[in-house]
Amino acid sequence: MKKILFCEKVYSRWIILLIDQFIVAVSFVVALIILEKGNYRQAFDYHILAYLILYHLISAPVFVRMKIHTGIIRYSSIEDIFRVFKAVLLTSSLFILISYAFFKSQLNFNTQWFISTLIINFFISVSLLVALRISVKQLFHYLKDLQLVVKEVLLIYGADRASLLIKQGLDAASEKNFELLGFIDDNPDRIHKHLEGKQVYGSRAIPMLKKKYGVEKMIVMEDCKDMEGRKLAIEKCMECGIRVISVPASNHWLKGKLKLSQLPDLKIEDLLQREPIHMDGANIMDGLCGKRVLVTGAAGSIGSEIIRQVLKCHPELLILCDQAESPLHEMQLEIEDHFPDSSCKFMIINIQNYGRLKNMFETCLPEIVFHAAALKHVPLMEHNPSEAVLTNVLGTKNLADLALEYQVEKFIMISTDKAVNPTNVMGASKRIAEMYIQSLQNQQSELLHKTKFITTRFGNVLGSNGSVVPRFRAQIEMGGPVTVTDPEVTRYFMTIPEAVQLVLEAAVMGKGGEIFIFDMGKPVKILNLAINMIKLAGFLPYTDIKIRFVGLRPGEKLYEELLNKTEKVVPTYHEKIKISTVIDYPYEYISRKINELLALSQLNDDRQTVWKMQEIIPEYVSSNARYRDRDVWEGQISLLNVPSEP
Evaluate whether residue 545 is within a structural domain: no
Q: What is the CA radius of gyration of the chain?
A: 36
Evaluate whether residue 623 is within a structural domain: yes
Please answer whether residues 137 and 75 qualify as being in contact, where contact means their C-beta atoms are separated by less than 8 angstroms.
yes
Closest CA to 531 of 482, 582, 583: 482
The domain boundary residue, chosen from 102, 125, 145: 145
3-state class (DSSP) for residue 256 = coil
Evaluate whether residue 210 is within a structural domain: yes
pLDDT category, 265, cuts 50, 70, 90?
Answer: low
Closest CA to 73 of 137, 141, 8, 144: 137
Evaluate whether residue 482 is within a structural domain: no
Same domain, 163 and 122: no
Residue type, position 259, single letter? K
Per-residue pLDDT at 170: 74
Closest CA to 598 of 376, 378, 355, 393: 393
Same domain, 361 and 424: yes
Per-residue pLDDT at 516: 84
3-state class (DSSP) for residue 215 = coil
Evaluate whether residue 98 is within a structural domain: yes
Evaluate whether residue 470 is within a structural domain: no
* CB within 8 Å of 358: residues ≥ 6 apart: 402
Q: Please report how the helices 111-147 and 78-102 are oriented relative to each other, as an axis angle in degrees rounded to 10.
A: 160
Please answer whether residues 295 and 320 qualify as being in contact, where contact means their C-beta atoms are separated by less than 8 angstroms.
yes
Same domain, 382 and 247: no
DSSP 542-606: TTTB-EEE--PPTT--SS--SS-TT-EEEE-SSTTEEEEE-----HHHHHHHHHHHHHHHHTT-H
- Average pLDDT value over all residues in the chain: 78
Closest CA to 306 of 516, 518, 500: 500
Residue 291 belongs to domain spanning: 281-459+494-519+561-627
Same domain, 338 and 396: yes
Distance, C-alpha 400 to centroid of its chain: 34
Separation between Cα atoms, residue 308 and residue 305, nearest integer Å: 5
- Torsion over CA of 29, 33, 36 and 40, rounded to 10 degrees? 100
Same domain, 427 and 405: yes
Please answer whether residues 425 and 403 qualify as being in contact, where contact means their C-beta atoms are separated by less than 8 angstroms.
no
**Beta partners for residue 479, in sequence order:** none
Burial pattern 241-262, b for ≥16 Cβ within 10 A else e, equals ebbbbebeebeebeeeebebee
Per-residue pLDDT at 353: 95
In this prediction, residues 553-565 reach a mean pLDDT of: 65
pLDDT tens figures, 339-395: 998 999 999 999 999 999 999 999 999 999 999 999 988 889 999 999 999 999 999
Please answer whether residues 206 and 237 qualify as being in contact, where contact means their C-beta atoms are separated by less than 8 angstroms.
yes
Its sign, for the CA torsion 461, 466, 468, 473, is: positive
More confident residue, 445 or 62: 62
pLDDT tens figures, 391-447: 999 999 999 999 999 999 999 999 988 888 888 999 999 999 999 998 888 876 555
Same domain, 157 and 141: no
For the ranges 110-119, 150-159, 277-286, the maximum mean pLDDT occurs at 150-159
CATH number for the domain spanning 248: value is: 3.40.50.720
Same domain, 443 and 569: yes
Q: How many CA atoms lie within 13 A of 553 on its CB side?
A: 12
Kindly report whether the global pTM for this prediction surpasses the value 0.75. no
The domain boundary residue, chosen from 145, 169, 190: 145
Same domain, 175 and 322: no
Same domain, 363 and 437: yes
Same domain, 219 and 310: no
pLDDT category, 3, cuts 50, 70, 90?
Answer: very low
Closest CA to 247 of 151, 153, 162: 162
Same domain, 234 and 193: yes
Per-residue pLDDT at 393: 96
| Number of independent structural domains in the chain | 3
Same domain, 225 and 247: yes
Per-residue pLDDT at 146: 55
Specify the DSSP element, H or E, that contains 32.
helix 13-35
Please answer whether residues 373 and 303 qualify as being in contact, where contact means their C-beta atoms are separated by less than 8 angstroms.
yes
Please answer whether residues 579 and 527 qualify as being in contact, where contact means their C-beta atoms are separated by less than 8 angstroms.
no
Phi, psi of 490 (to 5 degrees): -130, 155
Evaluate whether residue 274 is within a structural domain: no
pLDDT tens figures, 574-592: 777 777 777 778 889 999 9
Evaluate whether residue 616 is within a structural domain: yes
Its sign, for the CA torsion 464, 470, 472, 475, is: negative
The domain boundary residue, chosen from 145, 178, 202: 145
